[in-house]
A and B are shown apart, each in its own frame.
Chain A
Amino acid sequence: MIALDSGVDRRTTAKHRPRATVSFRSVVGRVLGWTLLGAFAVAVLYPVLWMVLSGFKDNQEVFNQPWGLPGELRWENYARAWDLGVVRYFTNSVIVTSASIVATTLISAWAAYGLCRLKLPFGNGVALLVLGGLLLSPTVALIPLFRLLTAIGLFDTYWALIVLYTAFRIPFTIFLIRAYMIELPRSVDEAATIDGASRAQIFWRVILPMSRPILVSAALLQALFAWNEFAFALVFVSDESLKTLPVGLVSMQSRLLTDWPVVLAGLTIAALPTILLFLIGQRQFLRGLTEGVGK
């Protein structure tokens, strides 16, 4: 396992590092380096800024002064986007995302506990099954899933997305949580057993609370995934009133061809939750990403 301290630097900052003699070449190198970092920051930020600002403009401003600031903050664009469909897509996304977060985290935590603390018959087989699940991609499964979901009556329901978002993310989440649980000392289990606690009690009262940091990471990553997922949402939900944000936005764009500010306001509303989540839970996010990626 990889120890992670993304927030804390083990090295001191560049400023305090002993500096080699300043040569002409290193000055040029520094200038070039800073230019690249700055240019990239602008390239990343500008489109996002443009999206937010254009959401406040009127059509005339968007088309004739694309670089300019909005004359006034037209919050009504955001209100219109909200009323013209975003409210429904947003609600649907919240429902599907929260349900899949709960399901994925709980089911994965159960399985992770079983895999690292109990002697399962064919335990290795289960581990292999989970590992293999990491290699299988959603795109490949589209057609059979379409048949399957239609056959069991889940096509065009919230459940289609909730179940799929859970099933396809379980492998990753199990490995993430398992890597953390393995590190928890066995003595806590033993102490609880001596106190007469059952397996289930140990899990709910001891292991789960101790695993909280990694559960938060897992939940955040699942939120990012489910909020942004597009392919399943496109294929398995056709009812306009059940569409989630990613698919809804595209249908909104084609409905409001010329009303750029309203569509851009809608995009901003859609992007906000995950960006905020990332800003708030940055450390947990990165832990989850690098641990998950490092397997």
Chain B
Amino acid sequence: MGALLTRWRAWVWVLPAVALLLVFVYYPIVDNLRLSFFSWNAFSPEPRFVGVDNYTEMFTDPVFWRALLNNVAYAVVSLVFQAGLSLVLAALLEELVGKRLRGLLRTLYFIPAAMSITVAGVLFSFLYNPRYGLVNEALQAVGLGHLARAWLGEESSAIWSVIAMSQWQSVGYTAVLFVVAMQRIPREYYEAAKVDGSGAVRTFFSITLPMVREMTTLIVILTISGAFLVFNEVMVMTAGGPDNSSQVLGTWLYRKAFFEDDMGYAASVATVIFVITFAIAAGQLALSRRRRYDS
């Protein structure tokens, strides 16, 4: 009995963490699922069971599909830039740039990621300003004035403008992650390639790319799940407008819950986000586990 007690005393160490996780991370997820089957708002604190009504309403709501589609667009563009362009940038940094300048550029590229997304969002809403914004000014300066527009104020461009800002903030960040992964590649591989007379491009495909595969997978996963969780930049720059054209699941949830006071519907949107991101994350875990056993 005494021995048992001693063993349980070790729980003192993990108790605060476990308690916080259970109460503030796990309980809300479970509660959200429950709430999505109820109808309630701030004025009727007693939730009323409505079965799958919230889900039916959501799945027949064009705004929901619009939001989901915007998330998909976010994911696709982010993949091209944060997995594609940043990989190219990292490889170029490693191949062309001397050590000192490389450190400088790496630091510089990372700076937007060290700023808060709100700062970046507000800054870009100035740059996108239809009358005084730098974007339109620049277009006019190079004779493309006909392309100038109210970037955040038009349905056709709002979400794309937000996505573009997001790339500006994140490409440098993932490029730095790739650089770190590339620096772990043993130098002998490159020497061998040189001896074989392999050019820079071929070396990239035959050595660099395979050697950073793990980091690439990881960045792909993080980018996709990040795209389905996006909230801040959309909220700051367009709040989902104009006319819901730039809604994403996160902002739609927020609007439904805290502006239209339709908590049950909002909870069902949250469930959809949960299912998508959990599936992605679980897939990644399974993948990395398997790889660990393989090696």
State the A residues within 8 Å of B (CB): 2-6, 9-15, 17-18, 20, 25-26, 29-30, 33-34, 36-37, 40-41, 43-45, 47-48, 50-51, 62-63, 66-67, 107-108, 110-111, 113-115, 118-121, 126, 129-137, 139-148, 163-164, 166-168, 170-171, 174, 224, 227-228, 230-231, 234-235, 245-247, 249-250, 253, 260, 263-264, 267, 270-271, 274-275, 277-279, 282, 286, 289-290, 293-294
Q: Given A40-B171, A139-B253, A143-B35, 10 other A-B contacts at CB below 8 A? A: A10-B183, A14-B98, A25-B199, A26-B199, A41-B105, A44-B168, A48-B112, A114-B14, A121-B11, A167-B25
Question: B278: CB under 8 A from chain A?
Answer: yes
| A-contacting 9-mer, from B26-34, B58-66, B146-154 | B26-34
Closest to A131 in B: B285
Main secondary structure of the interface of A (DSSP, over half): helix
| Bound form: Cα–Cα A174–B25 in Å | 15
A118 touching B13 by the CB < 8 A rule?
yes
| A-contacting 9-mer, from B72-80, B113-121, B155-163 | B113-121
**A34 CB contact (under 8 Å) in B29, B96, B122, B232:** B96
Question: B2: CB under 8 A from chain A?
Answer: no
CB-CB under 8 A for A230 and B118, given A163-B24, A164-B24, A293-B222: yes
**B105 CB contact (under 8 Å) in A37, A142, A166, A249:** A37
Chain B 228-268, CB-CB to A under 8 Å as 1, else 0, gives 01011001100000000000001001100110000100110
A67 touching B281 by the CB < 8 A rule?
no
Which residues 1-49 of B sit at the A interface, judged by CB distance below 8 A? Answer: 7-8, 10-14, 16-18, 20-29, 31-32, 35
Could you name 19 residue pairs across A and B whose Cβ atoms are closer than 8 Å? A14-B98, A36-B92, A40-B172, A41-B105, A47-B123, A63-B132, A66-B132, A111-B17, A118-B10, A121-B7, A130-B21, A132-B26, A135-B282, A140-B32, A146-B257, A246-B232, A250-B236, A274-B115, A294-B214
A148 touching B28 by the CB < 8 A rule?
yes
B122 touching A282 by the CB < 8 A rule?
no
Closest to B185 in A: A11
Question: B53: CB under 8 A from chain A?
Answer: no
Question: B176: CB under 8 A from chain A?
Answer: yes
Question: B69: CB under 8 A from chain A?
Answer: no
A167 touching B21 by the CB < 8 A rule?
yes
Which residues 171-217 of B sit at the A interface, judged by CB distance below 8 A? Answer: 171-172, 176-177, 180-181, 183-187, 190-191, 194, 197, 199-201, 214-215
| Bound form: Cα–Cα A10–B236 in Å | 42
CB distance from A65 to the nearest CB of B (A): 10
**B124: chain A residues within 8 A (beta carbon):** 47
**A290 CB contact (under 8 Å) in B12, B107, B177, B200:** B177
A230 touching B236 by the CB < 8 A rule?
yes
CB distance from B254 to the nearest CB of A (A): 7
A67 touching B180 by the CB < 8 A rule?
no
CB distance from B221 to the nearest CB of A (A): 10
**B215: chain A residues within 8 A (beta carbon):** 293-294
**B229: chain A residues within 8 A (beta carbon):** 137, 139
A278 touching B114 by the CB < 8 A rule?
yes
A15 touching B98 by the CB < 8 A rule?
yes
A271 touching B119 by the CB < 8 A rule?
yes
A267 touching B35 by the CB < 8 A rule?
no
**B267: chain A residues within 8 A (beta carbon):** 143-144
CB-CB under 8 A for A167 and B24, given A5-B183, A36-B92: yes
| Bound form: Cα–Cα A145–B35 in Å | 12
CB distance from B282 to the nearest CB of A (A): 7
CB distance from B243 to the nearest CB of A (A): 20
B108 touching A67 by the CB < 8 A rule?
no
**B123 CB contact (under 8 Å) in A136, A224, A264:** A264
CB-CB under 8 A for A286 and B180, given A110-B17, A144-B35: yes
CB distance from B61 to the nearest CB of A (A): 17
A230 touching B232 by the CB < 8 A rule?
yes
**A13: chain B residues within 8 A (beta carbon):** 98-99, 102
CB-CB under 8 A for A136 and B122, given A20-B197, A121-B7, A250-B236: no
CB distance from A214 to the nearest CB of B (A): 16
CB-CB under 8 A for A108 and B17, given A230-B117, A234-B235, A290-B180: yes
Among B28, B92, B99, B231, find the residue whose CB has the most chain A CB atoms closer than 10 A. Answer: B28
CB-CB nearest 7 A-B residue pairs = A114-B13, A228-B116, A141-B28, A144-B28, A167-B24, A144-B31, A246-B118
**B200: chain A residues within 8 A (beta carbon):** 26, 29
B14 touching A111 by the CB < 8 A rule?
yes
CB-CB under 8 A for A66 and B123, given A14-B95, A33-B96, A135-B278: no
CB-CB under 8 A for A120 and B21, given A9-B99, A10-B183: no
Which residues 80-129 of B sit at the A interface, judged by CB distance below 8 A? Answer: 88-89, 92-99, 102, 105, 107-112, 114-119, 122-127
